[in-house]
């Protein structure tokens, strides 16, 4: 198991089953959803988070972070891909993403 997978699994254990959060799949990747809406997922050696405003801006300042692009030329503007080098920040980002998506779900 990679460092990214281990960190993701810890986040799933911490968040799944609470306040409507469930582990699922999106684009074939492991994903966390709240009330059926995705808010975070694991892709390769990174996690992606659906964020808005200051949280989105702050996540993009992390070294190596970028807009998530599941297919070439198809950036998902609200989604930030954060590499495993910042795994220590992933849980907080997942919680912010959950809170944001919960308001729209």
Q: Which pLDDT does position 105 carry in this prediction?
A: 67
Residues 66-93: pLDDT tens digits? 999 988 889 899 999 999 999 999 999 9
E strand or H helix that includes residue 100 = helix 87-104
Q: Which pLDDT does position 18 carry in this prediction?
A: 85
Asked if CATH classification 3.90.226.10 holds for the domain at 3-104, the reply, yes or no, is: no
Closest listed residue to residue 32, CA positions, set 52, 53, 49: 49
Q: Which pLDDT does position 19 carry in this prediction?
A: 82
With contact defined as beta carbons under 8 Å apart, do 46 and 67 qualify?
A: no
CA distance 17 to 63: 31
Q: What angle do CA 17, 23, 28 make, to 5 degrees?
A: 175
Model confidence, pTM:
0.94
Residues 13-71: pLDDT tens digits? 999 988 899 999 988 899 999 999 999 999 989 999 999 999 999 999 999 999 999 88
Residue 16: CB atoms within 10 Å: 13
The domain limits of the chain are: 3-104
CA distance 105 to 90: 21
Q: Which pLDDT does position 70 carry in this prediction?
A: 86
Q: Which pLDDT does position 36 carry in this prediction?
A: 94
């Amino acid at each position: 198991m990679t460092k990214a997978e281990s960190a993701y699994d810890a986040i799933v254990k911490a968040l799944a089953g609470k306040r409507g959060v469930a582990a699922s799949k999106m684009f074939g990747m492991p994903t966390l959803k709240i009330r059926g809406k995705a808010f975070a997922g694991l892709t390769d050696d990174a996690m992606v988070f659906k964020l808005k405003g200051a949280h989105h801006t702050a996540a993009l300042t992390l070294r190596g972070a970028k807009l998530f692009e599941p297919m070439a030329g198809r950036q998902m503007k609200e989604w930030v891909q954060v590499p495993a080098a910042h795994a220590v920040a992933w849980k907080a980002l997942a919680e912010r993403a959950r809170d944001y998506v919960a308001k729209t779900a």
